[in-house]
Amino acid sequence: MAKHELHLKLKGVVPPVVLPLDPGQEIDESGLRRETRFLLDAGVDALLVNGATGEGALLTPEESRRVCEVVVEEAGGRVPVIAGVIADSTRQAIHLGRLAREAGASALLVPPVHFLNLPSRAGLVGYFRDIGREVGLPLVLYNVIPHLNLSPDLCLELAALPEVVAIKQSNDNFHELADLLRRAAGRITVLTAIEDLLFPSLLLGSPGMVVAIAALLPDLCVDLYQAVQAGDLPAARRLHERILPVVRAVFVDENFPATIKAGLAMRGRPVGPPRSPLTPVPRDVEDRIRRSLVEAGVLPAD
């Protein structure tokens, strides 16, 4: 079986679409459409739904399908829509993947199982193989689970699977990103998700980013990507220095992505509360996020 062609299009800036909720914690579909339009108008290259920033693990299967369906409808074929599949068993992952396919997703973003039932290496390979075979969509590996790291060697083994076309390198290990970019060239697309090192990731040769900060700062992320592509490294460095304080402010050890939602409200894009058991951020965290957005130049100083 030939490789899917989607990997040729996976580049540039791929933001997650956050999950707008009403006060009763139900999905706000009008807000979801509004966020989708905003990101498209910012010039992004693809969209991600139902990932960590989109609170995908907190959705029912039916809700995950509807979120994907709404974003696909609103995107109208302008960019691919990638659907996150956050599951703890092969059967569950295949079910979620089929729902995403029915909703019109172009590909799946699949992490290893995230609970503490730890599969062997053979089990992990079988997990991705079976999802790809049964769902029939291209797979983007999501390297984010600390206790099930997808090493460069394992990624190269997984790259032999027909459906595996890319990896989102989210484990904050820049050394492994460098190894992947060197060793995986021509086999799979290596997308950076190391939020505070986007600039050097692009310089090393990553063709794009799949990052939560692009939900909050799509304009700056698109400008950074375009500056690197144009070879304007001084401009890219300045953009990196604007983005970095915001990354530091919103990435905390608990309650993520409530911080992203707080920042969106400050930028005039309110999306409601996070879904329980997440809670709105406290005042001191709000103040920190606001200061970072001022420093980034996207909010006026008080």
Q: What is the pLDDT along the chain (302 residues), one digit of tens a residue?
A: 355 655 546 899 999 999 999 999 999 999 999 999 999 999 999 999 999 999 999 999 999 999 999 999 999 999 999 999 999 999 999 999 999 999 999 999 999 997 777 899 999 999 999 999 999 999 999 999 888 899 999 999 999 999 999 999 988 889 999 999 999 888 899 999 999 999 999 999 999 999 999 999 999 999 999 999 999 999 999 999 999 999 999 998 789 999 999 999 999 999 999 999 999 999 999 999 999 999 999 999 87
Active site residue 261: no
Report the alpha-carbon distance of residue 110 to residue 44 in Å, rounded: 21
Annotation marks residue 225 as catalytic = no
The alpha helices in the chain, defined as continuous H runs, are 29-41, 61-75, 90-103, 121-135, 152-158, 174-183, 198-204, 213-216, 218-229, 233-250, 258-266, 283-296
What integer pLDDT is reported at residue 3 of this predicted model?
Answer: 58
Cα(142)–Cα(161) distance, rounded to whole angstroms?
15
Report the distance separating Cα 78 and Cα 254, nearest Å.
35
Note the pLDDT of residue 45.
97
Three-state secondary structure call for residue 130: helix
Report the Cα–Cα distance between both ends of the chain, in Å, rounded: 59
Q: Exactly one of 11, 127, 168, 261 is catalytic; name it.
A: 168
Burial class (CB in 10 A: 0-12, 13-18, 19+), 245: middle
| Token pair recorded at residue 100 | 């995403």
Contacts of 182 (CB under 8 A, 6+ apart): none
pLDDT of residue 145: 87
pLDDT at 6: 57
**Residue 81 DSSP class:** E
Rounded CA separation 50/109 (Å): 9
What are the phi and psi torsion angles at 166 (to 5°)?
-160, 170
What's the CATH fold of domain 6-231? TIM Barrel (3.20.20)
Query: Which pLDDT value is given to residue 4?
Result: 60
Q: How buried is residue 57: exposed, middle or buried, by Cβ count under 10 Å (0-12/13-18/19+)?
A: middle
Catalytic residue among 11, 127, 142, 261: 142
